[in-house]
Structure 1
Amino acid sequence: MTLTFTVTDSMLEKVEKWDQCKAVDVSGARFSYTFIPSGIGTVVKVHCFVCNRELDITEDWG
């Protein structure tokens, strides 16, 4: 079984507006993305490793 999760352009725009942190390691990684499938859609959250904040970028369901 294969699951595919998509981050849309509008989701990326939300992350760019929210992001205020600079990467602190050589890889440049700052975020983890969490996808939570449910019966009515998929919840998408972004976690910043630098400031430990979380942003819900789930798009409207329906």
Structure 2
Amino acid sequence: MAEEATPTQLLDIAERLEDKVDTLTEELDSTSDMLTRKALRVRRSAHKKPVKQIRTDFIPRLEKY
């Protein structure tokens, strides 16, 4: 059976993903090529969605139970 993540583990994961989002945002700000910016936005979005889900759904739910 798979072990569930603790709230502290989820916070650690969220922080690492936020660091990646910040890095991608900095790259996005420094790039002017349209195709490169589009690719960076797609990658950033792929990291932002799980961060939001972890912070708004998973952590509060684990702390509740």
TM-score, normalization: structure 1? 0.29
Q: Which has a greater percent of strand?
A: 1
- The structure with more radius of gyration: 2
Q: Which has a greater percent of helix?
A: 2
Higher relative contact order (CA 8 A, sep 6+): 2
